[in-house]
Amino acid sequence: METAMYEGTHEHLIVHALRRRAVLIITIAMLVAGCGAAYTLMRSPSYTSSTAVLLNPAPGNPLAPGPTSAQQVTIAMQTEASMVTSPAVTKLVDENLHTGVVAGTSSVTVTVPSNTQIVAILAQAASPADAKRIAASFADQFLAYRAAQSKTNQANQLANLNDQLKSARSSLAKAAQSASKSDASADASAQVQIYTSRVAALQDSIGQIQATQVDAGSVVKPATLPSSPDGLPGWLLILASAALGLFTGLAVAVWRERADDKIRVSHEVLVAGFPVLGDLGKDLASQDSEAAASEAYRLVRTAFLAAAPRPSVIVVSPTADRAGPASGPLVAGLGRSLVDAGYRAVLVDTVPEAQNSAADVLGVPDGPGLFEVLTGMSLDAALVDVGGLKVLRAGNSHERSRDLLGGRGLTDVFDQLHRDVDFVIVAAPPSTTSDGNALVYAADACVLIVMDQVTTYDQVVTAASRARQLDVPVLGLVCAPRTGWGGRPAQADRDVPSESLQSSVPGPRHSRHSAPNKLTGGQVFEKSRDPATRTLT
């Protein structure tokens, strides 16, 4: 049961993270937003201009005249696109603009739209005008380069054909001279015809090449003048950074909330399934007067009375044995508050050497106490009356003290104390110690002391599980101040009688272990002092 309740406290991690770690989330969000703002201010703006060139098949270029398949055209266009940023074209652009661009520059991007003979050129620069100039220059110089390639190709073809024509004419002259002789062979006339046809064909090819007009292509989309810099606007980038920071901060907060097992009493009514009887950590920290401290203990008293059966022996014990709150101040304040309200109470101190023991808080001087009673001293001789509150000091411990706390004598002492009172409240050492366990086992119920954001859920569950193994119910938790108990509990009103413990409260007394617990659904405690017959119904 305790484990299920413990796991249930982690269900709303996001809500808890937002509520408890808002400062962390805001801090991370501001840091990330600040980085985004710094990047926005420090980055150099860039502008992109675009242009498009329609290529015509031109001799001497990858896309040349002649019958070609769709695949060949696609390959040719990709080759043409790679030529835009080639060293030859880049040199022409640099000579034109004197911008220092180099071959393969990343500031110029070239693409070919699917199933077209168009080359799209994108140029980036630090200003809109420079971007437009670079894009336009690359388009113009690329076309000029293609035209130059075609003209060079034509010149080479003409030169080759002219050489062939010269050779064909020379051969034709020789063949004609041979055919004009009287003893000319039969095939001399045929040679003349052959060379005549050869010369005519070469002249026709030369004429066709000379008549061919070179058209490398045209600019179908002039270079544009960018109206805004590339990337996100500065304000949008800062806003996106802030949103990213909030998300990151929330993620970190949820992670820390999940990893943090410390209880948050100020935000929870139940801790690991057990009611919080009072938050003295909050109430005493904000008060510095005895009247205010008394009010804080009254709040604890009301919750305590609703939870505790009467008459009963209640052990008040810290949940952990590490540095933490002592039980003495809480027991002293609660006992004093019960007496002020007219209840009969006995306070039992069990930690003699502890600082802030119950007896020390109430100003009771050193003297014989519980350990002396366990070794044979009269109980009446050890009790001290402090303004109507009976106090049994711890006394002087010795080698057998810890064994005596676990013996039958302790239950006999508690039996004698509870007969004429409503409550016997025991200031015990931590519940994780053997002495604390022995005292819990001898009691009817226990109250655990915790510290906000110090005590862990695991410590509460461990202490409660141990009490359950000992067949002792946990009435609830009281949160102690993290910085100490502060002022001592207020002194009793002067009109509270102190003659005897029995006369403190008139009227009939309840039979022991028969009063219902309001906070546990009317559960009745029936626990015998004989360990062999103790039960909880």
Say whether both 147 and 275 belong to one domain: no
Q: Is residue 179 part of a domain?
A: no
The verdict on residue 226 lying in a domain is no
Q: How many domains would you assign to the chain? A: 3
Residue showing tokens 């303004």: 387
Report the percentage of the chain scoring pLDDT > 90: 21
Higher pLDDT, 366 or 3: 366
Statement: residue 303 has pLDDT above 70: yes
333 and 430 housed in the same domain: yes
Same domain, 350 and 317: yes
Helices (H), 108-262: 128-179, 188-211, 234-259
Q: What is the pTM of this model?
A: 0.54
537 assigned to some structural domain = no
The reply to whether 38 and 51 lie within a common domain is no
Query: Looking at 73-77, 204-208, 360-364, 480-484, which range is the least confident one?
Result: 480-484
Q: What is the mean pLDDT of residues 424-439?
A: 88
Does residue 201 sit within a domain? Answer: no
Domain that holds residue 30: 2-45+231-258
Give residues with Cβ within 8 angstroms of 355, minimum separation 6: 326
Residue 283 — pLDDT band, cuts 50, 70, 90? low
Question: Does residue 338 have a pLDDT over 80?
Answer: yes
For residue 200, pLDDT over 70 is answered with yes
Confidence (pLDDT) at 207: 85
Q: Which residue has the tokens 């004609």?
A: 176
Q: What is the pLDDT of residue 213?
A: 73
CA 387 to CA 372: how far, in whole Å? 23
Q: In whole angstroms, give the CA distance from residue 537 to residue 443.
A: 16
Residue in 349, 493, 492, 325 with CA at minimum distance from that of residue 424:
349
Distance, CA of 161 to CA of 209 (rounded, Å):
10
Could you tell me the sign of the dihedral formed by the alpha carbons of 406, 409, 412, 416, in that order?
A: negative
| Residue-wise pLDDT tens digits, 54-105 | 998 888 888 888 767 888 888 999 999 999 988 889 988 988 887 777 766 7
Q: Please, what is the average pLDDT of the chain?
A: 79
CA distance 64 to 154: 13
In a shared domain, residues 251 and 339:
no
- What's the pLDDT score for residue 161? 87
Based on the fold, state whether residues 40 and 66 are members of the same structural domain: no
CATH number of the domain encompassing residue 376: 3.40.50.300
Q: Same structural domain for residues 316 and 411?
A: yes
Q: Looking at the structure, do residues 466 and 415 belong to the same domain, yes or no?
A: yes
Is residue 423 located within the same domain as residue 291? yes
Handedness of CA 44, 49, 50, 51 (dihedral sign): negative
Using 50, 70 and 90 to split pLDDT, how confident is the model at 285?
low
Q: Is residue 285 part of a domain?
A: yes
Same domain for 305 and 395, yes or no, is yes
| Rounded Cα gap, residues 99 and 468, in angstroms | 85
Q: What percent of the chain has pLDDT over 70?
A: 82
pLDDT confidence bin for 537, thresholds 50/70/90? very low
